[in-house]
Chain A
Amino acid sequence: MDTKDKIKDLIKENDVCLFMKGTPDSPQCGFSMAVSNVLKHLNVKFKGVNILEDNELRQGIKDFSDWPTIPQLYVKNEFVGGCDIVKEMFEKGELKELFVSKKII
């Protein structure tokens, strides 16, 4: 399966999908940890995809979203943003609203 299809499947099968460095329990980068912690704080169940384990995915996800950095958060098939946007939305209460409106929490 090519990388793009793999990504499409991942974000389709997982309502909340976080492409990150490391895993939710052992993040390998402060930015990935920050987003992972925000999701945990909101009691959101999510799939963490460790891009460090897959070089094609690491580049593929950047091409897919036209976004040069990791982490990347997808909710119901839609790219929400990277660390800065997620943190900003969290602080404004918008992230919680998004999850509520998508019936995730």
Chain B
Amino acid sequence: MSLPLDELKKLIKESIPDASIEIKDLMGDSNHYAAIIKSSKFNNLSKIEQHKLVYKSLKGKMGNELHALSITTEGK
């Protein structure tokens, strides 16, 4: 189970094009990431809805190829 950082970023960018994304590979294993994502798509959404948008962009990879992704979202 692992997902390269570039691919992770690409997936998020594809569904949330205006996102500014900052990702850290926490353990250097391509499997535990922390991401800070800012997008106007998050405006007026609850935190749950914001995180769901991010999970949806990963097309089912979350919890499968990707073990851990800590998410911080912000509108812009």
Contacts and interface: CB of A to CB of B under 8 A. Distances in A.
B72 to A, nearest CB: 7
Nearest to B48: A81
Interface in B28-66: 47-48, 51-52, 55, 60, 62-63
Task: With a 10 A CB-CB cut-off, give which of A79, A82, A83, A89 has the most chain B CB atoms.
Answer: A82
Task: With a 10 A CB-CB cut-off, give which of A31, A68, A85 has the most chain B CB atoms.
Answer: A68
B48 A68 contact: no
Contacts of B63: 62, 68-69
A88 to B, nearest CB: 7
Contacts of B52: 66-67
Interface in A73-91: 79, 81-85, 88-89
Nearest to A62: B63
Contact of B47 (A62, A68, A81, A83): A81
Nearest to A69: B63
B55 A88 contact: no
Given A68-B63, A69-B62, A69-B63, A85 B70 contact: no
A79 B48 contact: yes
Contacts of B71: 84
Contact of B72 (A31, A62, A79, A84): A84
Contacts of B62: 68-69
Given A68-B62, A69-B62, A82 B72 contact: no
A83 B62 CA distance: 14
Nearest to A79: B48
Interface of A: 31, 62, 66-69, 79, 81-85, 88-89
